[in-house]
Amino acid sequence: MKFVSWNVNGLRACVGKGDFDKAFSELDADFFCLQETKMQQGQLDLEYLGYESYWNSAEKKGYSGTAVYTRHHPLGVTYGIGKEEHDTEGRVITLEMKEFFLVCVYVPNSQDGLRRLDYRMRWEDDFREYVCALALKKGVVICGDLNVAHEEIDIKNPASNRRNAGFTDEERAKFSQLLSSGFTDTWRSLHPDEVKYSWWSYRFHARENNAGWRIDYFLVSDSLKDRIAGTEIHNEIFGSDHCPVELTLDLQP
């Protein structure tokens, strides 16, 4: 079973460039998860044969937002994590399947000057509580832009980015805490020493120079880690400042 996740940084813009339809068709996923859609459902007529879609849009128009396209009808769909403080920005969609939960998430950015770092810390604790509760019931697949480069290998210039949003000690420690709560970073589990990035700034020719960050992930609960069959980071695909990431699991929907 094939999963793809992509922060499209504005779905309408990505579609307008002509990149999205091509990537969607070529990647041929069972589940195609999107972050930062920046739109309300219905603003774009984007349906694909054989797929149904679920959308969680932010109350603030043109901001945040997630969506999931699936070939497999879920047992249930949940929007948000059940905490009002976090659930107005369209950041989480959970599909319950027979064997697993699929959680598509767009984690809040701590922003310039780390002005949202305190909020980010509350988010991290509440999100970890949410997914750990799911994992008590069945396997969990978490995908999306987690807005953190976990280790120095996951960022081109670790020293100069040490206190920048996405590479603070606090954010990295929260990611470590999530993993130690019973989750596996699927890419790093299969590629322990490989350097590959999923996001590049639009400034300073960062993508051209491959001065990137790996901040887009697939995590699985430890009950599913033996089912990992393959992972990819598709840095050959353009259309956003992020590229799609992929996970293949030996699972039934």
On whether the CB atoms of residues 108 and 66 are closer than 8 A, the answer is no
Active site residue 63: no
pLDDT recorded at residue 137 = 98
How many angstroms separate the CA atoms of 106 and 100, rounded? 20
**Once rounded to an integer, what is the mean pLDDT over residues 45-53?**
93
Residues linked to residue 106 through DSSP beta bridges, in sequence order: 145
pLDDT recorded at residue 253 = 67
> How confident is the model over 73-125, as pLDDT tens digits?
999 999 999 999 999 999 999 999 999 999 999 999 999 999 999 999 999 99
Catalytic one of 30, 54, 145, 217? 145
Q: Among residues 151, 170, 164, which one has the least CA distance to residue 214? A: 151
Active site residue 106: yes
Q: Among residues 126, 91, 101, 79, which one has the least CA distance to residue 3? A: 101
Contacts of 150 (CB under 8 A, 6+ apart): 172, 175, 176, 185, 188, 214
On whether the CB atoms of residues 93 and 79 are closer than 8 A, the answer is yes
Catalytic one of 69, 106, 130, 217? 106
Give the model's confidence band at 60: pLDDT under 50 very low, under 70 low, under 90 confident, else very high. Answer: very high
> How confident is the model over 229-249, as pLDDT tens digits?
999 999 999 999 999 999 999
Hey, is 73 helix, strand or coil? coil
Record the pTM: 0.97
Q: Which residue has the higher pLDDT, 45 or 78?
A: 78
How many angstroms separate the CA atoms of 155 and 15, rounded? 28
pLDDT recorded at residue 251 = 87
Share of the chain above pLDDT 90, in %: 95
Torsions phi, psi for 211 (to 5 deg): -95, 80
Give the model's confidence band at 186: pLDDT under 50 very low, under 70 low, under 90 confident, else very high. Answer: very high
- Sheet arrangement for strand 92-96: 76-79, 92-96, 100-106, 139-145, 216-221, 183-185
